[in-house]
Every structure is written in structure tokens, then in C-alpha cells.
Chain A
Amino acid sequence: MDTQVTKKKLGLKERYKLLTRDLGWETTFHSREEVFPYVHYEGIKIHDWDKWEDPFRLTMDAYWKYQAEKERKFYAIIDAHAQNNGHLNLTDAHYLTAIKIFLQAITPGEYCAHKGFARVGREFGGVGTQVACQMQSLDEVRHAQTQIHAMSNYNKFYQGFHAFSDQRDRIWYTSVARSFFDDALSSGPFEFMIAIGFSFEYVLTNLLFVPFMSGAAYNGDMATVTFGFSAQSDEARHMTLGLECIKFMLEQDPANLPIVQKWIDKWFWRGLRILALVGTMMDYMLPKRVMSWKEAFDIYGIENGGALFNDLARYGVRAPKGWGDAAAAIDHMSHQLMLGLYQWSFGTAFHGWIPSDDEMEWLSAKYPDSFDKYYRPRWEHIKKLAAAGTPFKNYGLAKLCQTCQLPCVFTEPGDPTLICHREIDYKGEKYHFCSDGCKEIFENEPEKYIQAWLPMPQLFQEPLKGDLGAWMNYVSLVDGQDNGDFDGSQDQINFDKWRGMATSNK
């Protein structure tokens, strides 16, 4: 009998090269510059696209196969969750506040990332890059969809889920995330990669997703946990794409370093402002806490981020400019934003509440240097007012930062009792900022940020002209239902009633 001669298997690199070779043709009708016009105007110099490696070397057919299987699995779990009244397994209905914020502010960001990667996949030269961007684009639209589907079951039973896309576009506390993504989408392709691929996917992703997903696990929200796992299996590819991009730029030409450094400074600071929302969720909104925002920042920010910037230092990159201010703000951010959300709770599409005594104990233990000294007295005062039937509401409107679009509620780096305000006169107009970081971002690109759409000024323009009721319609917020105090809300009453029915014979 003949023995079969086994052919030597092709290495993965060769196999991938053969599978993608036809994508990288030489253009003949038009010059490369005409076909890829956007890769030059940011000033980034590239000499050899082949040096951008795609270490995953995943082919499109394999990609479809994996993602289809993930979808099947995901929807099987989500269906089971809905059929088994998963919404009654939560620790408490006020947990849903965290999920409402996620759906209103973060999920639409996934959709923006999808659009952005579809665009840069077209704009970059280099086959490996194009394929990786295309896959990430598809991943992101899948993330947006699966998140919406996972949370849609809650929409059947609770308030505040029904109009997340209007709220993403129009409401004030979501504009920090919206403006982050709008800013990234209207940047050049390389800056987009630093904003989303690097800053968001690497520096921020752990701080954002790990707290939300473990918060979900701790509080019985299996729907959210499931999309977390499903999305996390794509994250390594995303993170790698961002890291490969930054290495590629830094290695291609020394002139790229100052440009990249500026983007790192900018997107770190913009990212930190989004994290204010996440930190507030961690410290105030989870009935069962995972870890404090400060603890999360120590692990994922200081330790992992520190390791990254140590490694980047080999290229001559320094830690982001706002790093020191960020570290100083960690003790205060979440408390300051929560006080803001509480006093304007008539204008939020989620419920507010005063922390319980237990929760305040936990906050003092987690923030020994700041909570008892600066924030407990304020909550005690607010509690007294509420008990006296005169709850503290601020019917004035917040001044928003022109860059990050959060209300200017944060304090000076060295003084937690003094609100930080910065101002610039530009072409006869005054612009306001929450911090030096945000002011500098504006100063680098004023013509971009004077075009920013801000929700508060919108309220005074056509067609609302300052009418709060009309504004609520405009942002699809049902007064007395989606907003206000959690105590006495329909969410609270229904959850208690249904849970009672599910766990007793009444």
C-alpha cells in the first residue's frame, strides 16, 4: 500500500497572505493619493503600510461562523431570561438606573463606533488594516443590537427605557458620551483610531465594561452579563487594532510623535469625563456594590494604564497631560456628579434618591479622605430638607462645558470646595469649560468646538424657547414617570408588587 505523502502545512502567515492577496491591488485608474485621500491631511507620515500587522489573521468566512454561533447562543439565553421573568431576579429595581444610563449614553456609542470603523476601513490603505476595521465595524453594530435586545425586556415592565435614542441625542447628561463619539467621528482616520481604538478600547474599556458587567452579575441582571461575555470575546481584537495602530504611527516616522501625543492627551481627558458617569453609577446606583470607583481606578487606571505608559515611554510618549489632575479628582468626581444628578432629577430619564445610612457608611469607608468631610454633610442636609417636605431641587439650568458637555460641577484640582470654571473669548463669543483639560482641547481646535451642539442652549432656542414642558416632550421624557424620586415611583411600586407575587402566595 502506498503511504500518502503529507504536504507540509502552510504557516498561518502564508495562508492569510494567500487569502487576502486580491484585496491589495495596485490602483491604475487613479493614483493611490486619490483613492485614499484622507490619510494625509492629519499630518501623519506613513512610508510602508505593510508594517501594520494584523496579528489575528482572521478570515471573513471564519469570522461569520464565529459571530453567527455567538448570536445563536446569546439569543437563546436572552429568550430564557425573558420567559423566566428575569427582571424579577434583580436585587432591586433601582439597579435599573445604571442600565438606563448605559442604554441612553453608552449603547449608542457602540453604534457610532460601528459607523466610524466602517469609514476608516475604507480610508486606510493596507489590506490587514482594512479587514480588521471592517470586522470591528460589524462587531460594534452587533454590540449595539445585542445590548438593545438584552435590555428590551426591561422596557416591557419599567420606565425610562422607551426613548433611549432621543435621549442620547437630546438630553444633557448623555451629551458627554454623545459629544465624545461625535468628536471622534468627525476626526481624521488616525485620530479616530486613537480616540476609539486606543483610548476607548484600551485605556477606558476595563473601567467602563468591567464595572458595568460585574455590577450586573452582582445584582442579578443576567441579560446584561450575557451581552458582556458575548462582547468581551471581541475585545482582544479591538484592543490589538488600537495598539497596533499607535505602534505603527510611532514607528513609521519621528514626526508623528508630537501629533500622537496631543491626541493621547486629548482623548484621555475626554474619556475621563465619560467615566464620571460610570463612577457615579458604581458608587451610588448599584444596590449591591462591586467595588468603588476609586478602587477600580487604582487597578485599571493607575496599575494597567501606568504599565502601558511605561511601555509607551520607550517611544518617547509621556503619560497624558491630565493624568495628575485625574488622580487628584478620583476622590471627588462621582460625589460631585451625583449631587448634580440629584438636584436636577426632574430632568433625568431615571430616578434619583438620597443614599441610605448604609450606603453612606460604605461611601465613608471607601472614600476616607473625602466623603465625610465634603459630601456626607451635604447629603445630610438634603435629607433634612426632604424629610421636612421641601426637597432640594435646582430649577436653574446647569452651565455646560463647551468641550465635554457635562455640567460644570467639578472642583479645582487643589480645592474640593471651589467649583472649577474656565472661560475663553473667541470671535466675540464667550465659551465655558469645566477644567483646564477641556479648555486646552478647545484651544487646539476652536473652529471645531464652536460648532458643538449643546442641550442647554437648545432649550432656549426655537422651537422650545425655554418651555420646560415642551423640552420634556422634545427629549421624550414623561414627567412624573421617568424622572424624579425613586421612592414612590412606579418602578419601585411595581417591582415590589411583582416580586411579592413571584416569591409568595399572595
Chain B
Amino acid sequence: MSYQLTIEPLGQTVEVEEGQTILDAALRAGIYLPHACCHGLCATCKVQVLEGEVDHGVASTFALMDFERDENKCLACCAIPQSDVVIEAEIDEDVDAQNLPVRDYTGKVIRLENLTPTVKGLWIELEQDIEFQAGQYVDLHLPEGIGGRAFSLANPPSTGKVVELNIRIVPGGKATTYVHESMQVGEEVRISGPYGRFFVRKSAEVPLIFMAGGSGLSSPRSMILDLLAEGFSLPITLLYGQRSMAELYYHQEFLALAASHPNFTYVPALSAEPEGSSWQGFRGFVHDAAIAHFNNDFRGNKAYLCGPPLMVEACIGSLMKGRLFERDIYTEKFISAADAQQVRSPLFRAL
């Protein structure tokens, strides 16, 4: 049986499975709670329980003392909810987060289009409007026992009932193969969402850099369309990497946007375009394009990175060497089952 866990001051609610810890549930839902040892020893993950019951598990009596248990504190890394629970954690409120509720939606496929040889555009008309922040993703539920997979919304929030997903085929991948080969217009689909904390920190009022690779264009596209539509006037730069011209979907759209919006700069980069083709733009990886375009100095910006883990990692390294650091970098990694989780140190919180 599962319980609801509400995390204050975010006000966000997530599901907790039987036997799952508060920390695990929060991290899986994309909510960072401070933690270090994960074994009830260091007390880094201490949180206040406002409502509900928890089992303290293996919490050390030195890391969580008796008087703290009496005050309803718990260690998130080993506390297991025994009822619906509300906690208050040491997280800074994010003024740009709208904390929109996650809902289940049903809809119909209204359009399918090959955007490139490997990316399929999928348009779904939902039975009701979905409210989300540009940059967030949904879980797409597929039949034949495939289950749910994460895909970012490629449309801006203003399109109401109609949502767009751009789905790259993964060799041997069940869900993406289904979308590419079996899905039909008119078919009924279910999505749930919106999920994720990848959205523009508009309140910071600084110039924005977007770096997208592969199918990672979806979120930045939604974010940029949203920003331009509402008249955001600071500089926006999109660095967009694909292998070749054939893969460079929405290229014309961004050229047109750049022409009509003086504050929007578009920098496409191709990493495997055949030698001697008609391509006049940058050749190489997206992080190299960024270094060249910004002359290796990213200070004063906020950067939003979206795409495959390797690309995101390369971009983080380049940004940091160009003096933009964790507090100004936001990422969405398109992780699939094939990406083994790398062991990370506690040096960075969320990067």
C-alpha cells in the first residue's frame, strides 16, 4: 500500500511505496533533500514531521536523539512512512516553481510526423487542458505491457489541450520502437504529469543560454517559445547540436525566430556532417560551439542543459571552466535504462 508524502515548504506531494524511505521517494520525484551517508549516521537528512507517522528504521541514536524523536524529527534516509505524511525540509523555496499538481490525462493521437529519420513528432489532444511549466515532462503510458516512459513536452503551455512530444528511437527500446512503428493516429493514449524541476528561473532576470542535444530540444523549445511569446527581453541563446543536417529538426523555425527577435540568437552545431556538404554553420559538439560563441566566458548568465547524459556532462564541464557554476546551471538528463548510474561525490547537490 502506498502513502502520500507532502514536502514543505515546496508544497509538493509525491507517492511513497510500502517500505520506501522519505529520501528515496523525494529524490526519485526530482526533489533534492540534503543527504550524505544515507545510513542514518550523519544527520544531514534530518527533517521535521508535521503530520503523520514514520518508522525511524536504522537511525543512529546519536544522529537522531530521543528529544528529537519526541519533537517529531526524523532522518529522511531511513524514515519509512506509516501513514500519509507531511514533512518540512531544509530546502530553499524556489520562487519560480509553480508546484502544479500531477494529474492523469487521457487523449487521442491527432498527428504523427517524422521530424528526422530518428525523431518522431507526436501530437496528442487531451480531454482537458493540462497546466505545466515550460520545460517539464510527462509520463507517456503505452500498451502491450510497455508501461510509462518520460518525455519532455515540446509545446509551450499556451497550446491548451494539444501537447507535442518529440521521440527519438532507441535501438532495442520497447517504448520508442512502439511509437515509431506501431502507433496510429486516432489511438487513445494516457499521460500523467507534469513532472520535474526543469523550468526557467525568470525571477533572476539574467540572460539565458540553452544547450540542447539530440531529442533534448523538446524542453528548450517549449521554454523559448514561451519566453518569446510573453516578451522576455534579455538575450536568449540556443546552442543546438545534432549529428547531421538531416537530423536538425525545427532548424527553419529557429532561423525565423532569430530573424524576428533581436534578443534571440540561434547557434546550430553539427558533429558528424559529411565533409564538403553545403553546411556553413559550426562543425563539432555543442559544448565546443558554446565555448567558441561565448569566447569561453559564461559569467552573468543562467544556463539550461537538456539531452543525453554525456552531452550534459560535457556542457557542465565547459560552463564551469568558463566560470559559470552550479547555482546558475540547470539540467535535464534524458536517462534511459541503458545509462548506468555513475557514482557521484557529494561535491554538487543536483548537477
Chain A residues with CB under 8 A of B345: 304, 307-308, 310-311
Cα–Cα distance between A310 and B37 once the two chains are bound (Å):
19
Cα–Cα distance between A311 and B345 once the two chains are bound (Å):
7
Min CB distance, B114 to chain A, in Å? 37
**Who on chain A is nearest to B322 by CB?**
A254
Interface string of A1-35 (1 = CB under 8 A from B): 00000000101110000000000000000000000
Chain A residues with CB under 8 A of B317: 313-314
* Residue A55 CB within 8 A of the other chain: yes
A69 and B65 contact, CB distance less than 8 A = yes
Once A11-B9, A304-B343 are accepted as A-B contacts, the answer to whether A70 and B92 lie under 8 Å apart by CB is no
> Which residue, of B342, B343, B346, has the highest number of chain A Cβ atoms within 10 A?
B346
- How many B residues face the partner with a CB closer than 8 A? 31
**Who on chain B is nearest to A247 by CB?**
B347
A-B contact pairs, 30 of them (CB 8 A): A12-B90, A12-B92, A55-B90, A57-B90, A69-B65, A70-B62, A70-B65, A230-B62, A232-B41, A232-B63, A233-B43, A235-B41, A236-B36, A236-B37, A236-B42, A239-B346, A240-B36, A240-B346, A247-B325, A251-B325, A254-B323, A304-B343, A304-B345, A307-B344, A313-B317, A314-B320, A314-B321, A315-B320, A316-B320, A316-B321
* Residue A384 CB within 8 A of the other chain: no
Chain B residues with CB under 8 A of A313: 317
A11 and B92 contact, CB distance less than 8 A = yes
Chain A residues with CB under 8 A of B342: 307, 310
B92 and A69 contact, CB distance less than 8 A = no
Interface string of B309-321 (1 = CB under 8 A from A): 0000000110011
**Who on chain A is nearest to B345 by CB?**
A308
* Residue B263 CB within 8 A of the other chain: no
Chain A residues with CB under 8 A of B9: 9, 11
Cα–Cα distance between A233 and B43 once the two chains are bound (Å):
6
A69 and B60 contact, CB distance less than 8 A = no
Chain B residues with CB under 8 A of A36: none
Interchain CB contact (< 8 A) of A312 among B34, B66, B325, B347: B347
* Residue A41 CB within 8 A of the other chain: no
B321 and A236 contact, CB distance less than 8 A = no
SS class, residues of chain A in contact with chain B: helix
Once A239-B36, A304-B345, A311-B348 are accepted as A-B contacts, the answer to whether A229 and B323 lie under 8 Å apart by CB is no
B347 and A308 contact, CB distance less than 8 A = yes
* Residue B44 CB within 8 A of the other chain: yes
* Residue A319 CB within 8 A of the other chain: no
Interchain CB contact (< 8 A) of A73 among B44, B61, B343: B61
* Residue A63 CB within 8 A of the other chain: no
**Who on chain A is nearest to B90 by CB?**
A12
Cα–Cα distance between A74 and B65 once the two chains are bound (Å):
12
Once A233-B43, A254-B323 are accepted as A-B contacts, the answer to whether A73 and B347 lie under 8 Å apart by CB is no
Once A13-B92, A303-B343 are accepted as A-B contacts, the answer to whether A232 and B36 lie under 8 Å apart by CB is no
- How many A residues face the partner with a CB closer than 8 A? 35
Cα–Cα distance between A243 and B321 once the two chains are bound (Å):
18
Q: Which of B10-45 contact A (CB under 8 A)?
A: 34, 36-37, 41-44
Chain B residues with CB under 8 A of A251: 323, 325
Chain A residues with CB under 8 A of B60: 229, 232-233
Q: Which of A286-339 contact B (CB under 8 A)?
A: 303-304, 306-308, 310-316
Q: Which of B248-286 contact A (CB under 8 A)?
A: none
Min CB distance, A339 to chain B, in Å? 35
**Who on chain B is nearest to A227 by CB?**
B62
Chain B residues with CB under 8 A of A229: 41, 60-63
**Who on chain A is nearest to B45 by CB?**
A236
Cα–Cα distance between A236 and B66 once the two chains are bound (Å):
20
Q: Given contact pairs A232-B63, A313-B317, enumerate 12 new A-B contacts (beta carbons under 8 Å).
A: A9-B9, A11-B9, A69-B66, A232-B42, A233-B43, A236-B43, A236-B44, A240-B346, A243-B347, A308-B347, A311-B347, A314-B320
* Residue B93 CB within 8 A of the other chain: yes
Cα–Cα distance between A312 and B346 once the two chains are bound (Å):
11
**Who on chain B is nearest to A303 by CB?**
B343
B343 and A55 contact, CB distance less than 8 A = no
Min CB distance, B125 to chain A, in Å? 40
Once A311-B345, A315-B320 are accepted as A-B contacts, the answer to whether A11 and B42 lie under 8 Å apart by CB is no
Chain A residues with CB under 8 A of B348: 311
The 5 closest A-B pairs by CB, nearest first: A236-B42, A308-B345, A236-B44, A311-B347, A307-B343
Q: Which of B41-77 contact A (CB under 8 A)?
A: 41-44, 60-63, 65-67
Once A232-B42, A236-B42 are accepted as A-B contacts, the answer to whether A314 and B62 lie under 8 Å apart by CB is no
